[in-house]
Amino acid sequence: MATPLPRDPIADARLNWERHGWSDVAAPMAAITAIMRTQQILLARIEGVLKPFGLTFARYELLALLSFARSGALPMNKASALLQVHPTSVTNAVDRLQGAGLVIRSPHPTDGRTTLIELTQEGRTLAKRATAALNSDVFAQSGFAEQDVDQLIRILGTFRRNAGDFSE
Amino acid sequence: MATPLPRDPIADARLNWERHGWSDVAAPMAAITAIMRTQQILLARIEGVLKPFGLTFARYELLALLSFARSGALPMNKASALLQVHPTSVTNAVDRLQGAGLVIRSPHPTDGRTTLIELTQEGRTLAKRATAALNSDVFAQSGFAEQDVDQLIRILGTFRRNAGDFSE
DNA sequence: TCCAAACCCTTGGATGTCCTAGTATATTGC
DNA sequence: GCAATATACTAGGACATCCAAGGGTTTGGA
């Protein structure tokens, strides 16, 4: 992985698709494969930046979400919905964040089924610092041209809406 | 996740970024987050299609790669490089594919360090069937407009080249 | 020639994701 | 009011990914 390949493996896959008579779906196949690979690259960068803070991307996302909540607290099911991950993934993340003293679980005042996740002061501070690091080391150097960023937001926004992520 | 959210959570995150004075990186943040979420949606679709074949995406990718190799066999390190995943991930995938009788390990004829992965007849057949299913159920209904597919291929291709995936 | 460095693969451990199932609490409908 | 249904969270298991470390094989320079 250290050394670049001589040829683009996804472009090669597309050629293979075309050679096998699947030309009609070769382009979407290439686009989807490229999304998978790009996600992998971005995730690695993000995790690299977060590692010194003792955070993973999953835990960071939860911290960031809480830091934007007016009260600094959210029900777990709400977090699961907003982060669009499985409830058990939230349970897992909260377990670890709580172990690190960054959040605490507290009972919901009126609904006995619900558990609230609340930022500790330490968690709030760490979220701020981690966000600053991501902003400067990842987002400010995304490697996408400005126009392309807009294109991505538009294209993927439409896709996500069609996939049922949101109705708006 | 079953019910669409009333608002786009990524657009909301972008607003939060702007409100906190990080307007300069709000757009790339949104684009990157959208890529992460889109990958998640696509992966779920793909795995759903592959499940009846007893395959995961990781295993399918390896099978497909082998099916396009002229000899039907590849060294493990070559597969690792082309799929751009860690060597241990290939070991893991090969273990399971071999257990299912879809590939076999064989020693490299001249290099004692290297192990070749080879498709069995059964593996070749399954790869064909799985590809046909992905073509019709995922790639042919990607949900991306044709123009957008081209945009994605272009934008992400540039990104991957800059990230060091290939030199071409 | 021969040993150190480089390379290849595997094992073991840490994380994250999802699914299924189980327990507890709310809500709904009769 | 109470049973049936729905909702919320957690426990356990299957997979995948990466990293670190270890053992075997090659290669290359002294």
The pLDDT score that the predictor gives to residue A1 is: 42
Chain B residue nearest residue A35, CA to CA: B39
Kindly give, in sequence order, each residue whose CB lies less than 8 Å from that of residue B122, ignoring residues fewer than 6 positions away: B101, B102
Q: Which of A6, A4, A5, A32 is nearest to A17 (CA)?
A: A32
Task: Work out the average pLDDT over A127-134.
Answer: 97
Q: Do A28 and B163 touch (CB under 8 A)?
A: no
| CA gap A37, A33 in Å, rounded | 6
The pLDDT score that the predictor gives to residue B4 is: 86
Tokens (6 digits) for A58? 């999953």
| CA gap A31, A159 in Å, rounded | 13
Angle between helical axes of B87-99 and B57-68 (0-180°, round to 10): 90
Using only C-alpha atoms, chain A has a radius of gyration, in whole angstroms, of: 20
Task: Work out the average pLDDT over A22-30.
Answer: 97
In DSSP notation, A68-79 reads HSTTSEEEHHHH
Residue B17 has pLDDT above 70, yes or no: yes
Which residues of chain A neighbour B13 with C-beta distances below 8 Å?
A: 64, 68
Cβ pair B50, B96 in contact under 8 A: no
- Is the C-beta of residue A3 closer than 7 Å to nucleic acid chain C? no
Residue B1 has pLDDT above 50, yes or no: no
Cβ pair A34, B160 in contact under 8 A: yes
The pLDDT score that the predictor gives to residue A136 is: 97
CA distance A69 to chain B (A): 10
For chain A, what is the mean pLDDT? 95
Give how far the C-alpha of residue B93 lies from the chain's centroid of Cα atoms, to the nearest Å. 13
Task: Work out the average pLDDT over B1-13.
Answer: 86
Band (A157; pLDDT cuts 50, 70, 90): very high
Q: Do B31 and A157 touch (CB under 8 A)?
A: no
A52-77 pLDDT, tens digit per residue, is: 999 999 999 999 999 999 888 999 99
Neighbours of B104 (CB within 10 A): 15
Neighbours of B122 (CB within 10 A): 12
Q: Compare CB distances from A7 to B30, B155, B166 and report the shortest one's residue.
A: B166
Cβ pair A11, A30 in contact under 8 A: yes
Chain A residue nearest residue B164, CA to CA: A4
Q: Which of A90, A86, A167, A168 is nearest to B1 (CA)?
A: A86
| CA gap B127, B145 in Å, rounded | 27
Q: Compare CB distances from A27 to B68, B149, B164 and report the shortest one's residue.
A: B149
Residue corresponding to tokens 């995938």: B93
Q: Do B5 and A40 touch (CB under 8 A)?
A: no
Q: Which of B120, B127, B122 is nearest to B104 (CA)?
A: B120
Collapsed DSSP state (helix, strand, coil) of residue B151: helix
Q: Do B1 and A81 touch (CB under 8 A)?
A: yes
| CA gap B15, B21 in Å, rounded | 10
Q: Do B156 and A81 touch (CB under 8 A)?
A: no
In DSSP notation, B41-106 reads HHHHHHHHHHGGGT--HHHHHHHHHHHHSTTSEEEHHHHHHHHTS-HHHHHHHHHHHHHTTSEEEE
- Is the C-beta of residue A98 closer than 7 Å to nucleic acid chain C? no
Band (A2; pLDDT cuts 50, 70, 90): low
List Cα–Cα distances, B145 to A28, A31, B59, B149, B152, in angstroms.
9, 11, 29, 6, 10
Q: Which residue is nearest to nucleotide C12 (CA to C1')?
A: B88
Q: Compare CB distances from A142 to B6, B10, B28 and report the shortest one's residue.
A: B28
For chain B, what is the mean pLDDT? 95
Cβ pair A76, A94 in contact under 8 A: yes
Tokens (6 digits) for A57? 């991307």
0.85 exceeded by the pTM? yes
B98-145 pLDDT, tens digit per residue, is: 999 999 999 999 999 999 999 999 999 999 999 999 999 999 999 999
